Amino acid sequence: MATEQRPFHLVVFGASGFTGQFVTEEVAREQVDPERSSRLPWAVAGRSREKLQRVLEKAALKLGRPTLSSEVGIIICDIANPASLDEMAKQATVVLNCVGPYRFYGEPVIKACIENGASCIDISGEPQFLELMQLKYHEKAADKGVYIIGSSGFDSIPADLGVIYTRNKMNGTLTAVESFLTIHSGPEGLSIHDGTWKSAIYGFGDQSNLRKLRNASNLKPVPLIGPKLKRRWPISYCRELKGYSIPFMGSDVSVVKRTQRYLYENLEESPVQYAAYVTVGGITSVIKLMFAGLFFLFFVRFGIGRQLLIKFPWFFSFGYFSKQGPTQKQIDAASFTLTFFGQGYSQGLGTDKNKPNIKICTQVKGPEAGYVATPIAMVQAAMTLLNDASDLPKAGGVFTPGAAFSKTKLIDRLNKHGVHE
């Protein structure tokens, strides 16, 4: 990946947005990593110089780095102005795109990056956007030798690389994995910024187009190895974790399936079936979530219902989502555990007639998921693009994290930064 003629190795686009601020801080930490032999040249990008300046000043204060503002480039660009996106992409080796919902704002950035030879990473949890971008731009990105890697935040690096990690740990053939996400909160509870809520509303409101997109892509089915993984009930009890769980509604299943397809078709690796769940604790939480889910699924079907959901996130999500997002105290006290239960066959045992004869359990743990683990995952994915070029897929293209990074040192990098097995 050419960096010599480009002034910035990394550019954080949307640095003054809610998540962008945390990504900016994380790049600032990476810039002074003791393992680096030289300073990382980087920049922030967005519409307002004043806002970008404020974000840098805030990061400088938080990190005790008074000179930070003078060390970071500022690029003024706007999603509505393609020429300004081109200018940004020309100056970057890797663009970290933090501007969502991606279904509305993601494609112009990808287009500008491909046309101007920059790679691009985003943290989208929107399957429709991610799958459409792969369909539309994979060959164009490959022709230019650039890497477009979506879902490189909490959705979906822990799940996608967690399945690969579990497969690598298993002494045999892994055929199926169920993951269970447990979110731990402190005394002040949880809160998620409503940007994530909006993405979910638009995604659920447009399910029919996602089905059409999948039908149009006409992909051959990936072979089923071992018995078919049975779906759990919408509310099921997990004995091992002593709690109830519901299906995880993020992009993890879509992303992991795309990764497994890539590994099977390109590297001839045995595909793994996958299902994702989130633990919800006891019966009180189950009832609360059932009501919130029913409200959501009812309102999301109508235009006026979607407007109400967007206008009153706190009310309709029973306090889980808000326009303000979490406080620093809530962020500091939160963490996550992702537990993987896998099954498969020991070496030498045929997978067609026999029952699976090995089970495996692995875990990925990390700090608060949305605004600490996500920036860490995104920035380490970018550092992997910059530093592990020989271990990436040979040509560029549009990839899932697992497809791009399965042979790189990304898992080691995440371990060093607090997202670990």
Domain ranges of the chain: 8-153+371-417, 157-366
pLDDT of 313 higher than 50: yes
Q: What would the two tokens of residue 40 be? A: 């990382």
Cβ of 396: how many Cβ atoms within 10 Å? Answer: 23
Least confident piece of the model among 9-18, 34-43, 222-231, 308-317: 34-43
Residue-level pLDDT at 218 = 80
Residue-level pLDDT at 4 = 55
Closest CA to 153 of 93, 213, 214, 195: 195
Residue-level pLDDT at 319 = 82
Residues 97-132 as b/e (b if ≥16 CB within 10 A, e otherwise) read: bbbbbbbebbbbbbbbbbbbbbbbbbbbbbbbbbbb
Please give the sequence-ordered ranges of beta strands (E in DSSP) within 25-170, or none if there are none: 42-46, 73-76, 92-97, 119-122, 147-149
pLDDT of 120 higher than 80: yes
Residue-level pLDDT at 60 = 97
165-177 residue pLDDT tens: 999 999 999 999 9
DSSP notation for 254-292: HHHHHHHHHHHHHH-PPP-EEEEEEEEESHHHHHHHHHH
Through-space distance between the first and last CA atoms of the chain, rounded to whole angstroms: 30
Q: What is the mean pLDDT of residues 220-238?
A: 93
Q: Note the Cα 325 to chain centre separation in Å.
A: 18
Whether the CB-CB separation of 120 and 1 falls below 8 Å is answered with no
The CA distance from 265 to 273, in Å, is: 15
Task: Please state, in angstroms and as integers, the Cα–Cα distance from residue 115 to each residue in 111, 213, 263, following that order.
Answer: 6, 24, 27
Highest mean pLDDT: which of 101-115, 279-293, 319-333? Answer: 101-115
Residue-level pLDDT at 2 = 44
Residues 352-383 as b/e (b if ≥16 CB within 10 A, e otherwise) read: eeeebebebebbbbbbbbbbbbbbbbbbbbbb
The single-letter code of the amino acid at 27 is: V
Fold category of 157-366 in CATH: Dihydrodipicolinate Reductase; domain 2 (3.30.360)
Confidence at 38, pLDDT banded by 50, 70, 90 = confident
pLDDT of 269 higher than 90: yes
Confidence at 242, pLDDT banded by 50, 70, 90 = very high
Closest CA to 131 of 187, 211, 14, 223: 211
CATH class as words, domain 8-153+371-417: alpha beta
136-155 residue pLDDT tens: 999 999 999 999 999 999 98
pLDDT of 256 higher than 50: yes
pLDDT of 1 higher than 70: no
